[in-house]
Structure 1
Amino acid sequence: MTSERAYHHGDLRRALLTAALDVITQDGPDTLSLRDLARRAGVSHAAPAHHFKDRTGLLTAVAAEGYGLFADALAGAPDLRERGVAYVRFAAEHPAHFQVMFRPELHRAQDVALLAAKDRATEELRAGVDGLPGTGDDNARTAGIAAWSLAHGFATLLLTGNLDGPVDGRDPAELFRSVAGFLSSPPTTPESS
């Protein structure tokens, strides 16, 4: 009776996604099981299959949602550096999505919703490189890879705790802004001025 009542409590799909995000944030995506999520939601162990079919379907939905949120976060950034800041901020605010999005072995690569969300996010990333001085067609792709590597590497180091010392209570996005600024125009030394 409790399971049936819980199943009809509202948006079970959203409840399962939220529970999955909590588990992934705490323990990583590899520990996720539909049976555990059903228990957490107070529904039968078969109920999640109605929405996601299987674990891969659930992780695909997490990745698609993540890419959509990611595209939204990038869209408001006026330039490449600020897109990097938005990238780091997104990872810090959505660590579970971030972990799943960049692990393609966890989701269905040909899922229509996932592909649409990834395409939108990719366009937002590319828009940050468009029009940079000195980045004609030949260099735009390389500049994009460099910018992505910097932001993604910083975000990954942040989420894995490897920047705890350097961040030391500072806003990680602001620290990234400083790092990106340093690399784009390093400070001059007395010898170089």
Structure 2
Amino acid sequence: MMKIFCVLLSLSVYHFIKLNHMEQELEELRNVNYILTSNYTELQESQDTLQSQYATLNEKLDELTKVFSDLNEFYCDATNTSPDNTYSVCKPGWVFFSSKCYFISTNIQTWKESQDWCETRGGRLVNIESSDVLDFLKRKAAVTQRYFWIGRYNISKENKSTRMDAGPVKSKRASDDDKEECLLINMQKNLVFNYSCDHHFYWICESAAFPLRT
């Protein structure tokens, strides 16, 4: 009887110790799970933060790209400096050539609307008075079928001079007594002629370049 009691006691002690050990392991596993869960949460938060920072950096990059583009358009001819280190500078969207700035439109208006647009930006419809300017504008407006409103055309070639002044002027056609005509050009085809001012065409402005002292 005593032996049986001792055996049962031994088994009870063994199972108690084993159970206690298992409870300790379970508690350790719970702790590990808690730590892993906490780490996962922190990683998720870190990922969210990094994604937010990435989005912010992308926005900053877009802003800087636009600023760079604007600065690039704010054309400065570094070779055209005066003795006092002044550069010739054009507004964004305008291009520099031979001490002046030129704007070539990408939409159409009447001659009056085009002239007003140029004047509100400190310029006027272009006066083409040299072959160099004509060739420059040909390169910049390299679209064969486009016609542009201009202010004046005065080009001399091979002892021949072609001069046409700014509009509006009265139409010479008998059927157009009350209509005014303005100066239109297709530079690729070398066509310059008067046309009804009320029609909508592209246009070219010119203005003085801004001096920028360095």
TM-score calculated relative to the size of structure 2: 0.21
The structure with the larger Rg is 2
More helix by share: 1
**TM-score, L = length of structure 1:** 0.22
